Amino acid sequence: MSTRYEAESLKTFAAKLMVHAGIDPEKTDIIAEILLEGDLMGHTTHGLQMLVPYLKSMEAGDMQLTGQPETIRDTGNNMVIDGQYLPGPWLVCHALDRAAERMTEHGVVTMAITRSHHIACLQAYLPRATSKGWMMTLMSSDPSVATVAPFGGKEALYTPNPIAVGIPTSDVPIMFDFCTSITSNGQCMRSHKEGQTLPGEWVQNAEGSPTKDPGALFANPPGTIYPLGGAEYGHKGFAFGLWVEMMTAALTGRGRSEKPQKWGASVFIQLIDPAAFGGTESFIRESDFFVKACHETTPVKPEQPVRLPGESAWRKRHEQLANGVQLHPGILKSLGTWAEKWNIPLPLPID
């Protein structure tokens, strides 16, 4: 039987580590909450596992620990924010709170963040909008990192560039979160560290040959991750990846052309209130129609009924909140070094 931990104890533990690292106490709970949400929803490569590289960035001075972001431009329903490498999860939640204040007046509010630190799991933010009956689009790129090659090329040009969308219904929200590459950096790093192969030929080596070996990315010279669609249909993922670059880095006015050196993120956020368009009631009628129609579709495999994006994550979230969180093996061990350094006890498993 897998070891489980109370969600609140994990959140408190993560917050304590960050307080000792020097982050403003008013920021730590929000960061810990977003990281924990990643694990609750099953995105274990972008949950509490991210706290280890975050702590390293804090120690190295690459993450700004105190202060506030700077507003570069504000037109009412559009804002550009310089995050000054403050913690990404806190910055995104800060931007969402500011956007929420303007939704009654504008109905659609768009936020772009430049120079954020890494923002963790994108899907973790979506319930903050769908719970209010709003749609949300969230995109992220990292101008300082390149692991994905353009379709047909060998050299890395950009990052996996994830997109997340939240759609309200009368019940479980529709939520999807996927990379525009065929897999993520986190999955490749974990597989390589654990000596595992990837489920498919998701990367290519430096010569351009497809392989299941994630070690190809860490060779000299390194290989690259394929765009979504892989070696055969990656032109579609490549187009999506370019779109995210334009919506994030290009819209903020700061991107890869400036060759930034700090690990971080350019972020695009948009909230849409259906009440400003055809009406909330009509919108929910349509979203509920699709949920019902999908559930009633005859499945190819009777034992695997059709499910909507986000349903599995939502069920997993509620199950783990009720029965305890199952962390991926090794996460607490890797955080244990930091806990020992500051004499912080590790969370106790549920008996």
pLDDT in tens, the chain (351 residues): 579 999 999 999 999 999 999 999 999 999 999 999 999 999 999 999 999 999 999 999 999 999 999 999 999 999 999 999 999 999 999 999 999 999 999 999 999 999 999 999 999 999 999 999 999 999 999 999 999 999 999 999 999 999 999 999 999 999 999 999 999 998 999 999 899 999 999 999 999 999 999 999 999 999 999 999 999 999 999 999 999 999 999 999 999 999 998 999 999 999 999 999 999 999 999 999 999 999 999 999 999 999 999 999 999 999 999 999 999 988 999 999 999 999 999 999 997
The DSSP line for 215-231 is GGGGSSS--EEPBTTHH
Q: In sequence order, what are the residues at sequence separation of 6 or more whose Cβ sits closer than 8 angstroms to the Cβ of residue 115? A: 82, 83, 84, 85, 254, 260, 262, 264, 266
Q: In sequence order, what are the residues at sequence separation of 6 or more whose Cβ sits closer than 8 angstroms to the Cβ of residue 143? A: 249, 254, 255, 256, 258, 260, 264, 266
CB-count burial class (<10 Å; 0-12, 13-18, 19+) for 109: buried
- Identify the three-state secondary structure at position 175: strand
Q: Which two tokens stand for residue 10?
A: 């994990």
Q: 25-40 and 88-100 helices cross at what angle (nearest 10)? A: 100
The H or E element spanning position 270 is strand 265-272
CATH for the 69-274 domain, from 3.30.70.20, 1.10.275.10, 3.30.1370.60, 2.40.50.100: 3.30.1370.60
Tell how strand 78-82 and strand 108-116 pair up.
parallel
Q: Is the dihedral of CA 66, 72, 75, 79 positive or negative?
A: negative
What does the domain layout of the chain look like in residue ranges?
69-274
**CB atoms < 10 A from the CB of 205, how many?**
18
